[in-house]
Structure 1
Amino acid sequence: MSNDDCIFCKISSGRDEKTQLVYEDEQFVSFKDHKPGSDTHYLVVPKEHLDSCKVLTGEHVDLIKRMKEIGKELVKDVDQNQVRFGFHWPPIILIKHLHLHVIAPVTGMSFMSRLIFRENSWWFVSPEYMIERLTKLK
């Protein structure tokens, strides 16, 4: 299910010709963030429209795990200690469509990027946090 007004739904369905996909399968797409937080910054997006982390249930644990697997594959040649994975936590989201940020290297992030993408803060949570939280909802 997609939302006609959502830019990530347009990208994942191929209706946005400006965005080049770096990954696609039946459930997910990935592309470069248009405002990168470091040298490498991808977004992993489910094709199904889900507003944010807050709408997820225990049934979505595998979805989060798969998103991180895709993200890790995208940066497999990067020192994994230099990769930040995370989701913005509402209400601090600009685009209401679930997306995982994959950012590297962490040491290349600006002060503002380190603030915006601060791991396990009130506004940016790791996939591990989400998996733990969702597992408790099962």
Structure 2
Amino acid sequence: MVSTQDRELVCFRDIRPAAPHHYLVVPVEHIVNCSSLHKGHIRLVEKMAEMGRAALRDQGFANMEDIRMGFHHPAYTSEDHLHLHVLAPVSMIKEVLKFKFRPGSLAFIEEKTLRKHLKNVSSPS
């Protein structure tokens, strides 16, 4: 079982995996969802992705070109606490769940796309 944490983040296996490797990376600080983020959170999102890749490597998964990492948009979130989905291999995401993790959909935004978007989102005053 995968379970890792540091001062800012926790990583563990999803209880309803959509792929052979499906982990969640969650910040210790409560953040509701990806719509609550701003440019000040870019480094946090980067660290979440780094921890996700490390979890995959720790489990013997080496092909970092065959992974998908991202967040569900509100209305498609199951928990009111920000969490990054780390899935691998992409080619083995369960057919019935592919729609939930499709990049560019209304439901799912990839980590790298979110980081780009956050560069233009000001911190709340």
Normalising by the residue count of structure 1, what TM-score does the alignment of the two structures yield? 0.81
Structure 2 unaligned regions, length at least 5: none
Q: For 1:54-133, list aligned pairs within 5 A.
A: 54-76=35-57, 77-133=61-117
Runs of 4+ aligned structure 1 residues displaced above 4 Å come to: none
2:15 alignment partner, one of 22, 34, 46: 34
**RMSD of aligned Cα (Å):** 1.3
Q: For 1:15-30, list aligned pairs within 5 A.
A: 22-30=3-11
Normalising by the residue count of structure 2, what TM-score does the alignment of the two structures yield? 0.89
Aligned-partner residue type, residue 39 of structure 2: G
Could you tell me how far apart the structure 1 residues matched to 2:23 and 2:49 are? 11
Aligned-partner residue type, residue 49 of structure 1: H
Contact 2:2–2:55 (Cα < 8 Å) also in 1: no
- Aligned-pair identity (%): 33
Could you tell me how far apart the structure 1 residues matched to 2:2 and 2:21 are? 14
Equivalences, count = 119
Could you tell me how far apart the structure 1 residues matched to 2:104 and 2:45 are? 16
CA-to-partner distance for each residue in 1:24-83, whole Å, 9 max, x for gaps? 100000110000001110000000110000011111011101100111111123311221
